[in-house]
Amino acid sequence: MSTQHISVTVNGEAHEADVEPRLLLVHFLRDNLGLTGTHVGCDTSNCGACTIHVNGESAKSCTMLAVQADGRELKTIEGMATEPTLHPLQQAFWDQHGLQCGFCTPGMIMQAAWLLDDNPAPSEAEIREGISGNLCRCTGYVNIVKAIQQAAGEMAAAAETQTAGTAPVAAG
């Protein structure tokens, strides 16, 4: 069978590979690159456990072919922390008990990260709507919402501190 050559950047690292056109992006990440943090939870694009970022937009990697990712920048859960510092969302999920079995968690965090990028101060309804493409069976979503609220607060405060830090000093 014929393969296609792809060049993909994943979490800042460049990768080259020859893949079958039918290879799903989630399988490319898990099996070719060994990035098993992105999970498969269904086969009809409903559960969102496979959510990653493609060129900054959240995407269900089970509903994309690896060849569609050619030339694009991907981010997975493995790229969220700047060790030893966790991303505020990772920290918040831990602080707020926003995970139990952990299987939906990477996809949930990736979707939440996209949500907060798009809408830094979401209401509870907007958070619930924002993660409506991600299923969780364990938590009942209550603490996931709290985690996202905590992270939103921290990220907004950090952004403000940054802006304040670079604000020009008043003249005179």
d(CA 160, CA 52): 27
- Report yes or no: 130 and 122 within 8 Å, Cβ to Cβ: yes
Q: Is the dihedral of CA 37, 40, 41, 47 positive or negative?
A: positive
- Our finding on whether 150 is near another protein (CB under 8 A) is no
- Our finding on whether 143 is near another protein (CB under 8 A) is yes
H helices of the chain, in order, are 25-27, 88-95, 105-118, 124-130, 142-166
- Our finding on whether 24 is near another protein (CB under 8 A) is yes
CB of 64 to another protein, least distance (A): 6
If the CB atoms of residues 16 and 165 are measured against another protein, the closer one turns out to be 16
Helix (H, G, I), strand (E, B) or coil at 4: strand
CB of 2 to another protein, least distance (A): 7
Helix (H, G, I), strand (E, B) or coil at 98: coil
Binding mask 36-75 for another protein (x = CB under 8 A): xxxxxxxxxxxxxx-x-----xxxx-xxxx-xx-x-----
CB of 66 to another protein, least distance (A): 10
Among residues 9, 15, 128, 149, which is the contact residue for another protein, using CB under 8 A?
A: 128
d(CA 134, CA 131): 5
Among residues 10, 136, 152, 155, which is the contact residue for another protein, using CB under 8 A?
A: 136
If the CB atoms of residues 63 and 162 are measured against another protein, the closer one turns out to be 63
